[in-house]
Structures are given as structure tokens and as C-alpha cells.
Amino acid sequence: MVSDLRTFKTKRLMKKSKYISRKPDEKGFVAYSAEETSVWHDLFVRQMKLLEHRACSEYLDGIKALGLTADKIPQIPEINERLRALSGWEVAPVPALIDFQAFFELMANKKFPAATFIRTREELDYLQEPDIFHEIFGHCPLITLPVYADFMHEYGKLGLQANHADRVMLARLYWFTVEFGLIQSSQGLKIYGGGILSSFGESQYCLDSDKPLRHPLEVIEAFRTPYRIDIFQPLYFVINDFSELFGLSKLNLLDLITQARTLGMHAPLFPPKPKDQESRFL
């Protein structure tokens, strides 16, 4: 769970991270410690057990396609070899903090930004910055799916054309789809948003709780809907399939942003955040 734009990678500039990305060697590999590997193992085992019947099948297929296991933290060169073959994408190692322009440039060039640090055991359930578990485990399995990867590519290109104010609105769409989206399948409602898939608490709450609203995705409604990053989401938007997601990139999203502004923003479905409460990312 993460401020307006908090999980949206580029807004990491808003707050200095206490984490520092690990520097790879000349071949792009990082020498993770035994403790870091143990943290990955525990996160992976816990989450895979939970997601077996909660995540969409495309995501679970992507886990296998990338060769992700509990035994080691993925190395970006190995992930890239598989991603390039499956969808033409790569993962780009970045510092914990990057700006809007860098984010959209990477996405427009079929590169998904990922910091190479992993959370500490003290922050196993949530942390302030998206780490390699969130980025690789949460997001990369679906980038193996060409239709999903194509949506991300078009989204990146659109972001390069948008001004700052429109990028803020585009971040809402990213939040309600790529980060916290649900999908209707023949086996029932499933998870595809990376912010949920990497969150132990929210991957249970989003499907089991009777508290949140679950609405079919309407783009203008997503643009009009505020969210908070430090709570379980009060509203999830649902797509029917990934071709619907790709179809969003073919709409005139900048015009729809203008329409959303004309209609006005919806009242928040949550109370104001206490001023002394620190943001947390699951």
C-alpha cells in the first residue's frame, strides 16, 4: 500500500529512502548476503502459498516462465534473458529514487525499473520503498505476457507526451490497474496488481473482506477516484481480461483526463491521513 503516486515508481523522489540499491558487478550480478537471501525465501514461500488460488493463472504461469524460486534472489541478467525471449522487455536496475521522466523513458523503451535492495526482516510485511521482491515477484511475471507488456509499453510512451499534471492523473490509472487491479476469470475473481501480489495482508483482504467496493473498470471513474497508500484499498477496479487492459492504451486518455477534471473528483472513501503517520508500502 503506498501517496498519490507513492507506489508509482517515479514519486519515490518525494521521500528519501533509507535503502540503497545494491551495486552489481561487471556482469550485472549482485552478491546478496545469506540474510538477504533468507528474507527473499521467507517472503516467496509465504506469498506463493497464499497466491496459489488467489492470483490469476497468467501471473502464476509467469512465475514459472521466469524461473523464480525461493532459493535465491533473482539476478537481473537472468531475468532479462527470459523476459527478452517472452515479451521483448528487460528489467533496468535503478536507485531507490528516480524521477518521472526517467520512469517513462524506461517504460517507453520496454525496460521495467527495479531497485536491487531487499527489505529487512523488521519490515517483512511493509516498507516505505518498493524493493526487489515487490518489483520482480509482484510485477515481472505478468510482463512475460505480451498483451500486458504491450499495455505497459504504450503507457510509457503516453507518459512521455503528458505534462506533469496529466502524469499525476495517469498515475491513478496505474494504481488501480498495474498496482491494485483485480481480474474476473472462469475460476472467479483473481489478483493481477503487483501491489497486491507482493502484499501478504492485502492479497487476503482484497478478495475475502466484505469492506471494499469492487467495480468494473471505467477509466474516467479511475481518474476521478483518490486513494491512500498506507491503508488497504477501499475500492478495487475489475477487468474481464488483459485485452481490455491493452484496449485502454488505444483510448485518448489525455482527453479522458480532461473529462474527468470537468466532472470533478469523487469524495475520498477514507479518512484523512494523520499528519504524524509515516507512509508505508506493502
Report percent pLDDT > 90 for the chain: 82
Annotated binding site for Fe cation: 134, 139, 179
pLDDT: which is higher, 271 or 1: 271
pLDDT digits (tens, 9 = 90+) for 24-51: 999 999 999 999 999 999 999 999 999 9
Strand, coil or helix: 10: helix
Instruction: Compute the distance between CA of residue 249 and CA of residue 173 in angstroms, rounded to an integer.
Output: 11
What's the pLDDT at 279? Answer: 40
Alpha-carbon gap, residue 193 to 113, rounded angstroms? 16
pLDDT tens digits for 174-192?
999 999 999 999 999 999 9
3-state secondary structure of 6: coil
First CA to last CA distance, the chain: 5
Domains of the chain: 9-23+32-263 (1.10.800.10)
Give the per-residue pLDDT at 4: 34
Instruction: List % helix, strand, coil for the chain (3-state, nearest 5).
Output: 50, 10, 40
Is the separation of the CB atoms in 228 and 279 below 8 Å? no
pLDDT tens-digit map of 52-96: 999 999 999 999 999 999 999 999 999 999 999 999 999 999 987
139: left (phi over 0), alpha (psi -120 to 50) or beta: alpha
Return the HEC string of 18-71.
CCCCCCCCCCCCCCCCHHHHHHHHHHHHHHHHHHCCCECHHHHHHHHHHCCCCC
Taking each helix axis as running N to C, give the angle between helix 146-161 and helix 76-87, from 0 to 180 degrees, rounded to the nearest 10.
100
Annotated binding site: 134, 139, 179
For 205-233, write each residue's pLDDT tens digit.
Answer: 999 999 999 999 999 999 999 999 889 99
Q: Which pLDDT does position 2 carry in this prediction? A: 36
| Residue 231 grid coordinates | 491503508
pLDDT at 96: 72
- Mean of all residue pLDDT scores within the chain: 90
**Per-residue confidence band for 100, with pLDDT thresholds at 50, 70 and 90:** confident
CA-CA-CA-CA torsion for 8, 14, 17, 21, nearest 10 degrees? Answer: 50
pLDDT band at 97 (very low <50, low <70, confident <90, very high): confident
Q: What is the mean pLDDT of residues 110-139?
A: 93
